[in-house]
Chain A
Amino acid sequence: MADDLTTTAPNTWCPGCGNFGIYNALRKAVHGLGEKNIPKDTLAHVTGIGCHGKIFDYIGLSGFAALHGRALATAQGIQLSNPGLKVIVNVGDGDTMGEGLEHVIFSAKRNADMAVILHDNGVYALTTGQVTPLSEKGFRGPSTPGGNPEEPLNPLVMMLEAGATFVARGYSGKTDHLAELIVRAVMHEGFAFIDCLQPCVSFNNTYERYNRITELMDRPPAGFDEALSIARRKDKLALGVFYDVKKPPHHRELQGERNPARDSQSRQERLGRIRKLHGV
């Protein structure tokens, strides 16, 4: 559909790429947010580096194509500086659970106010398919031709343990559901994390497996402990919201209602305050 979210950048995702599903869900979500009085002009779209990162060029949103692994840090800098903006961060599992692990853990710990969509395809696809921190043991890629010797991390468990106040799992093959999750994540005041399962047709084609073992939760887990135990399951991958609680967001705890970009003092005010400090 051509609308004001369409850009002229030529699309270079592989035909059948899971990213198309996420892209369509994001478009739908942006329209949905518009209907809830969150216009797209107030969205700040931040991306990392990888196949996921191309979404930055394909959707007509303002924002920042940040460094590999560092999107969450740049996103926090934006959000703290103008908490009136709604920050949506699209990142990859290689980029954010590897290079940038410290940033995703700390954003969750802080309850930084943003919505994070992890394009979880289990490979560094753009660099031809190496293993990521979420790849299963035994995964064969160009850097682990003999099979990955390591066990994977579990992003949902890590986010729950780190203090994320909204944790969900989606699937690029279920775009309407994913769009709903994205809207909820953006509307959530605090750190919202969506682990989005995504097949990679070129290096890790999990369509058949995910179609078989993903299952929409019929009710949200009863609390933190049940959320953790469902998140740990590998035989069935539950889709939906695992955890959703209200806690003060970081920007409010750090600077109250102050909006650094909007509330910047005038020059006169600044010189006055400096003089007062020095008693002159």
Chain B
Amino acid sequence: MFSIAEDVFTFLVGGKAGEGVKKAGSVAARIFTGLGRDIFQLDEYESLIRGGHNFSVVSTAPREISSHYLHADLAVALDRRSYEKHAGHIRPGGLIVANSDAMGEGSWDGIRIPLTSKAKGIPNPELRMGVGAVAILAAALGLAKNEFLELVRAEYPRDIENNTLYGASIYDVAQPLLGSRFRLERGNSARPIVGGSEAVALGAYAAGLDIFFAYPMTPSSTLLHFLASKSGQLGVTVMHPESEVAVINMAVGATYAGARAMLGTSGGGFGLMAEGISFAGMAESPLLCFYAQRSGPSTGAATLHEQSDLRFVVSAGHGEFPRIVASPSDVREAYTLAAEMMALVWEFQTPGILLTEKHLAESTMSVSLDYDAAANAAPVMHTGDGYLRYRDTPDGISPLVFPPSRAMNKWTSHEHEESGVYSEKEETLVKMHDKRRRKGDALVNRLKTMKTVNVSGTGPVIVTYGSTTMMVREALIAGKLNAKIVQPVYLEPFPVWEMEKYNREKAVVVEQSSTGVFAIYLKEKAGISASSVILKYDGHPFDPDELAGKLRGVL
């Protein structure tokens, strides 16, 4: 028995890397949004450039949808491997269509369309496969042929003639086999399709981002590529240097000059940055970090999804200094959280890490961002005479000056006097350790005035965080279940004052780690004892149907 929301339609296309699978998914998404429906698109791929197995799944509903579903209504398999992987995940009433030319020996059940042979005579036949998949979808939805060809012209402008020729030929084959098989209800959404990484980049930009540093590392590179392509349009300098160590040390330098800086990385890269985080803490550098997790430890599985680095992120970097760690649930929250964190790091002159996962970093969904709700970085600036870079103040925050300045402005990685000059004196060590600790207290007090935990729904409590929240939301809809989702956005400082109230409830914890990292953290920080912990650590995000089944068992 599947738990799939009735109003959801899911299209899946699978094939080898280099066959235009992801693009086909994106074009399908545009067909759905053209009908006024919302979408969620998940792209899965392997760590290679050609071959292997890629798939793109687009789920759509005439309302806001916050997850993909793996059980497709219409699946298109461009090769045998895709067929093997997805034939067993077709929703009742759904169809699988396969490229009959690529199926090899052995029987199989599904609709046969000769995608490869129809591309004979056209240059770069492998690249056309994606167009073929879109043609099949168009026919199945009852899109008129000319409407479909107009879409191909718009979405595949390189070599329009061959693309439309090929698309038309596949449409003609598909029409009699599955034409108008699915009628989709129109919606009235005009929400743009935005990716998680794009939302983080734009949120940071709204709050003042001037310069971005990153070393390519899946799945954080999506944000690097986005900002690099928009560098001129937005007016943000993008620098890709020799290593992650260069990245963080450059970013800290940038903040000295008064530029709002952000860096991007994933697990292993952040490992290399541990000294830099401690540097930012001591020097009091307002550094914002984007950390998109992948399957670990070590090199792990580069393109796969996991949520197991929480402990690492809240503690990386030797010594004691305040830091901010927060994790958004969805694309909309990614935008406002990125802006909010940029403002916070500049208010407290300390490092902040926006923690997310492959699933949010590389998925896209229909969303209307609350553009104006983005916070704005506004640091405390020094006025008048007598400037001391690390002036001891009640809240531990020292006003800033930016170079060039008449005033002596020394930043440092050493323990220091208020002037920034090195010190080993006992009383100075106590003074500066206390200053940093008081800054941490001020940060906690600040968080207490903000919304740090999202709570929605009624019923038994589910505690979750990050992108897993989206899957929980959709699982409740799909499984027709009632529950109260408690999602701490801020993880460090941990909003104990909000979360403590759940330590006498039976809380179900849902997370994507193998040792229950988050469940242990909840117990340590807020005394919450999970009545059950639902884990998934096979490298893929939860499917709402699968999760609904597990939740039903414990709620």
Residue from A60, A62, A105, A273 within 8 A of B403 (CB atoms): A62
CA distance A263 to B275 in the complex (A): 31
Contact A271 B371 (CB under 8 A): yes
Whether, in the assembled complex, B372 has its beta carbon less than 8 Å from a beta carbon of chain A, the answer is yes
Residues of B within 8 A of A234 (CB): none
Against B, the Cβ 8 Å flags (1 = close, 0 = not) of A8-42 are: 01000000000000000000000000000001011
CB distance from B33 to the nearest CB of A (A): 12
Instruction: Name the CB-closest residue of A to B376.
Output: A267
Q: Which of A77-85, A141-149, A182-190, A213-221 lies at the interface?
A: A77-85
Contact B246 A106 (CB under 8 A): yes
Contact A74 B250 (CB under 8 A): yes
CB distance from B545 to the nearest CB of A (A): 32
Contact B371 A64 (CB under 8 A): no
Whether, in the assembled complex, B230 has its beta carbon less than 8 Å from a beta carbon of chain A, the answer is yes
Contact B253 A64 (CB under 8 A): yes
Contact A254 B250 (CB under 8 A): no
Contact B241 A81 (CB under 8 A): no
Against B, the Cβ 8 Å flags (1 = close, 0 = not) of A76-116 are: 11111110110000000000000000110110000000000
Interface size on A, residues (CB 8 A): 53
Contact B410 A77 (CB under 8 A): no
CB distance from B484 to the nearest CB of A (A): 33
Contact B249 A102 (CB under 8 A): no
Instruction: Name the CB-closest residue of A to B209.
Output: A270
Whether, in the assembled complex, B194 has its beta carbon less than 8 Å from a beta carbon of chain A, the answer is yes
Whether, in the assembled complex, B138 has its beta carbon less than 8 Å from a beta carbon of chain A, the answer is no
Whether, in the assembled complex, B258 has its beta carbon less than 8 Å from a beta carbon of chain A, the answer is yes
Contact A62 B241 (CB under 8 A): no
Residue from B236, B376, B404, B413 within 8 A of A67 (CB atoms): B413
Most chain B beta-carbon neighbours within 10 Å: one of A77, A103, A280: A77
CA distance A46 to B194 in the complex (A): 41
Q: A64-B412, A78-B257 are in contact. Are A255 and B237 (CB under 8 A)?
A: yes
Whether, in the assembled complex, B270 has its beta carbon less than 8 Å from a beta carbon of chain A, the answer is no
Contact A65 B249 (CB under 8 A): no
Contact A70 B411 (CB under 8 A): no
Contact A41 B405 (CB under 8 A): yes
Whether, in the assembled complex, A124 has its beta carbon less than 8 Å from a beta carbon of chain B, the answer is no
Whether, in the assembled complex, A128 has its beta carbon less than 8 Å from a beta carbon of chain B, the answer is no
Q: A64-B283, A74-B249 are in contact. Are A81 and B261 (CB under 8 A)?
A: yes
Instruction: Name the CB-closest residue of A to B210.
Output: A260
Residues of B within 8 A of A67 (CB): 249, 275-276, 279, 413
CB distance from A139 to the nearest CB of B (A): 27
CA distance A213 to B260 in the complex (A): 49
Whether, in the assembled complex, A127 has its beta carbon less than 8 Å from a beta carbon of chain B, the answer is no
Residues of B within 8 A of A73 (CB): 241, 245-246, 249-250, 253
CA distance A57 to B423 in the complex (A): 10
Contact A57 B405 (CB under 8 A): no
Contact A267 B206 (CB under 8 A): yes
Whether, in the assembled complex, A242 has its beta carbon less than 8 Å from a beta carbon of chain B, the answer is no
Whether, in the assembled complex, B480 has its beta carbon less than 8 Å from a beta carbon of chain A, the answer is no
Residue from B202, B243, B249 within 8 A of A77 (CB atoms): B249
Contact A56 B412 (CB under 8 A): yes
Contact B237 A60 (CB under 8 A): no
Main secondary structure of the interface of B (DSSP, over half): mixed
Contact B242 A66 (CB under 8 A): no
CA distance A223 to B237 in the complex (A): 35
Whether, in the assembled complex, B256 has its beta carbon less than 8 Å from a beta carbon of chain A, the answer is yes
Residues of B within 8 A of A211 (CB): none
Residues of A within 8 A of B260 (CB): 264
Whether, in the assembled complex, A277 has its beta carbon less than 8 Å from a beta carbon of chain B, the answer is yes
CA distance A92 to B372 in the complex (A): 48
CA distance A57 to B412 in the complex (A): 10
CA distance A65 to B411 in the complex (A): 6
CA distance A66 to B192 in the complex (A): 44
Residue from B243, B253, B376 within 8 A of A78 (CB atoms): B253
CA distance A74 to B402 in the complex (A): 16
CB within 8 Å of A: which B390-424 residues = 402-414, 420-422
CB distance from B338 to the nearest CB of A (A): 12
Residue from A80, A85, A273 within 8 A of B234 (CB atoms): A273
Contact A77 B192 (CB under 8 A): no
CA distance A204 to B246 in the complex (A): 31
Interface size on B, residues (CB 8 A): 58
Residue from A70, A77, A271, A275 within 8 A of B245 (CB atoms): A70
Contact B253 A9 (CB under 8 A): no
CA distance A41 to B409 in the complex (A): 10
Instruction: Name the CB-closest residue of B to A270.
Output: B206
CB distance from B228 to the nearest CB of A (A): 11
Instruction: Name the CB-closest residue of B to A47.
Output: B412
Instruction: Name the CB-closest residue of B to A271.
Output: B371
Most chain B beta-carbon neighbours within 10 Å: one of A102, A264, A273: A264
CA distance A258 to B234 in the complex (A): 12
Q: A56-B412, A261-B258 are in contact. Are A80 and B372 (CB under 8 A)?
A: no
Whether, in the assembled complex, A274 has its beta carbon less than 8 Å from a beta carbon of chain B, the answer is yes
Q: A65-B412, A81-B253 are in contact. Are A274 and B422 (CB under 8 A)?
A: no
Contact B208 A264 (CB under 8 A): yes
Contact B257 A82 (CB under 8 A): yes
Most chain B beta-carbon neighbours within 10 Å: one of A74, A261, A274: A74
Residue from A56, A85, A106, A258 within 8 A of B241 (CB atoms): A106
Residues of A within 8 A of B421 (CB): 7, 9, 57
Residues of A within 8 A of B210 (CB): 81, 260-261, 264
Contact B261 A77 (CB under 8 A): yes
Instruction: Name the CB-closest residue of A to B246.
Output: A73
Whether, in the assembled complex, A129 has its beta carbon less than 8 Å from a beta carbon of chain B, the answer is no
CB distance from A112 to the nearest CB of B (A): 10
Q: A65-B414, A271-B206 are in contact. Are A41 and B422 (CB under 8 A)?
A: no
Against A, the Cβ 8 Å flags (1 = close, 0 = not) of B225-256 are: 00000100111110101110110011111101
Residues of A within 8 A of B237 (CB): 80-81, 254-255, 258, 260
Residues of B within 8 A of A105 (CB): 242
Whether, in the assembled complex, A163 has its beta carbon less than 8 Å from a beta carbon of chain B, the answer is no
CA distance A255 to B208 in the complex (A): 17
Contact A77 B254 (CB under 8 A): yes
CA distance A207 to B407 in the complex (A): 38
Q: A65-B412, A258-B237 are in contact. Are A76 and B259 (CB under 8 A)?
A: no
Contact A278 B422 (CB under 8 A): no
Contact A277 B233 (CB under 8 A): yes
CB distance from A171 to the nearest CB of B (A): 27
Contact B374 A271 (CB under 8 A): yes
Instruction: Name the CB-closest residue of A to B247.
Output: A73
Instruction: Name the CB-closest residue of B to A84.
Output: B404
Residues of A within 8 A of B371 (CB): 271, 274-275, 280
CA distance A80 to B236 in the complex (A): 12
Q: A67-B275, A67-B279, A254-B237 are in contact. Are A42 and B246 (CB under 8 A)?
A: no
Residues of B within 8 A of A103 (CB): 242, 246, 249
Whether, in the assembled complex, B115 has its beta carbon less than 8 Å from a beta carbon of chain A, the answer is no
CB distance from B253 to the nearest CB of A (A): 3
Against A, the Cβ 8 Å flags (1 = close, 0 = not) of B263-300 are: 00000000000011001000100000000000000000
Q: Supply 4 further A-B pairs (C-beta < 8 A) apart from A73-B249, A267-B208.
A: A62-B405, A73-B241, A81-B256, A106-B242
**Subset of 13 A-B contacts with CB under 8 Å:** A41-B406, A42-B403, A42-B404, A62-B409, A70-B249, A77-B249, A81-B254, A85-B404, A105-B242, A255-B237, A260-B210, A271-B206, A280-B371
Closest A-B pairs by Cβ, 10 of them: A77-B253, A77-B250, A73-B249, A81-B257, A81-B259, A74-B253, A65-B412, A62-B409, A260-B210, A81-B254
